[in-house]
């Protein structure tokens, strides 16, 4: 992974900042977000590492990381961040990088099998909202 002035000026920094409305450079890597994250053990990059990747403009790593897709939007990171960064919004912005390019994360063709399990409507609406192109 190469870091240069170009990566720091990368599109990913700008887009995530714009969509989330958060100041990425406020993060000083204390790790409280990662400590409380119930999904951290399944993430390619724990939340604090993921923020660092965005800060450094590591576009490819950010886009291919599973981190925003196993984020549960539970807001633990948001309420604990000592710098007041709304990390849930950063994860949302990272998901939208893909969704806004018209790429689904959730395989819509698998919906029939999911519905046969008797899932509640809120689960189905939510996964469409969070994991498909919008």
Partner 1 sequence: MRISYYPGCTLKSNAKNFEDSAIASMKELGVELDEIPQWNCCGTVFSLASDDLIHHLAPIRILLRTKETGSDSLVTLCSMCYHTLKLSNMRVKENPDELEKLNNIMYMEEITYDGTVSVYHLLSLLKERVGFDKVEERIRIDLGSLRVAPYYGCLLLRPEGVSIDPNIENPTIMSEFISAVGAIPVDFPHQTECCGAYLTVDNKDLVVERTYEILESARRRGTEFIITSCPLCQFNLDDRQKQVKQKFPEFEEIPVLYFTQLLAFAMGLDKKALRFDLNYVSPLSILEDKQILAIKD
Annotate 59-110 with DSSP letters as a single string.
Answer: HHHHHH-SHHHH-----HHHHH-TT---HHHHHHHHHHHHHTTT--SS-GGG
* Residue among 71, 81, 67, 75 nearest 30 (CA): 81
Give the residue with the Cβ less far from partner 1, 2 or 121. Answer: 121
Here the tokens at position 114 are: 């999911």
Give the residue with the Cβ less far from partner 1, 3 or 31. Answer: 31
Contact footprint for partner 1 (CB under 8 A): 18-21, 38-39, 42, 70, 72-76, 78-79, 86, 88-89, 92-93, 96, 105-107, 110, 114, 117-127, 129-131
Kindly state the smallest distance separating residue 1's Cβ from partner 1, in Å. Answer: 27
Kindly state the smallest distance separating residue 19's Cβ from partner 1, in Å. Answer: 5
Kindly state the smallest distance separating residue 43's Cβ from partner 1, in Å. Answer: 11
Give the residue with the Cβ less far from partner 1, 4 or 11. Answer: 11
Give the residue with the Cβ less far from partner 1, 127 or 133. Answer: 127
Angle, CA 67 vertex, CA 76 and CA 118 arms, to 5°: 80
């Amino acid at each position: 992974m190469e870091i240069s002035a170009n990566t720091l000026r990368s599109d990913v920094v700008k887009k995530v900042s714009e969509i989330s409305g958060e100041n990425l450079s406020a993060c000083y890597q204390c790790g409280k977000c990662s400590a409380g994250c119930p999904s951290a053990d399944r993430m390619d990059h724990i939340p604090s590492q993921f923020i660092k990747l965005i800060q450094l403009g590591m576009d490819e790593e950010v886009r291919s990381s599973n981190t925003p897709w196993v984020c549960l939007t539970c807001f633990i990171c948001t309420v604990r961040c000592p710098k007041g960064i709304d990390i849930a919004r950063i994860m949302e912005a990272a998901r939208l990088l893909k969704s806004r390019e018209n790429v689904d994360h959730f395989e819509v063709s698998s919906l029939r099998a999911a519905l046969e399990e008797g899932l509640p409507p809120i689960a189905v609406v939510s996964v469409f909202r969070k994991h498909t192109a919008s």
